Amino acid sequence: MFNLEGKVCVITGGAGSLGMAAARLLHEQGARLALIDLDLPALETVAQAAFGAVPAEVLCLAADVSDETQVRAAIARTVEHFGGIDVLFSNAGNFGTVAPIDDYPTEVFDSVLAVHVRGAFLMSKYAVPHMAKGSSIVFTSSVAATRGDPGVYAYITAKHALTGLMRVLSKDLAPRGIRVNAIAPGPIGNDFQQRVEDGLGAEIGRDGTEFFNEMIPMGRHGTAQEIAASVLYLASAQSGFTTGHLLMADGGMSV
């Protein structure tokens, strides 16, 4: 149903739980993968654990997605190895911190926007020339793109901006038959989310995990595998008439 046989899928943030869950699911559907992360040894270790042995059709690459030279090189290496790109899953992200505006570190704000927004822009800029009609771009946004919470200046701003970038890109690429969408996960049970909840908990003076669970109508965090299923849908031909869409995968948190 979600056949990706032979398709080349580029995934940034490949060493994270969502990146690797998507990698495994897309690979099960026949995709060939270029996995990109900052730390190549860590990426290779995670890939080894996920696949048992890194398959020949999985290419691991190191790149900082906010660095134009490194992005250009990673895309060139992918195209050299596989011949083209069919799916871009721009998933790399960082959280920053939680703090009042007068204490919020400017360098942290800049870093978060660089990874989420500049990173998605650069990955798209250099991948698109190698993508044909029927290709798909998926951004990892967040339920944070629909909210405003005290002190979460960098992350929430970046996710709002990323949704805007997705919508502009979807209009630009629609005549070329390339779809562009974003997923908006709610809280996921992983290390990234735990760091978020620890920071928020310290700011609001209560357990951050309980705080989020109370806001989610389904009463629990999602799993990386559940979010990866949404990525698969948007990457495949099953979403062939869907573009410019922010797919909420948040347990009803945004309702």
Out of 126, 153, 155, 233, pick the active-site residue.
Answer: 155
At residue 20 the predicted structure's pLDDT band, cuts being 50, 70 and 90, is very high
Predicted TM-score (pTM) above 0.75 = yes
SS3 state at 83: coil
How many Å apart are CA 231 and CA 120, to the nearest integer?
16
Sequence-ordered strand ranges (E) for 26-114: 32-37, 58-62, 87-90
CB 232 within 8 A of CB 22: yes
Which H or E element spans position 184?
strand 179-185
Q: What is the pLDDT of residues 58-71, one digit of tens each?
A: 999 999 999 999 99
In this prediction, residues 89-106 reach a mean pLDDT of 95
List of domains in the chain:
8-249 (3.40.50.720)
Q: Catalytic annotation on 126?
A: no
Q: What is the pLDDT of residues 167-225, one digit of tens each?
A: 999 999 999 999 999 999 988 877 777 777 776 677 667 777 777 778 788 888 889 99
CB 181 within 8 A of CB 166: yes
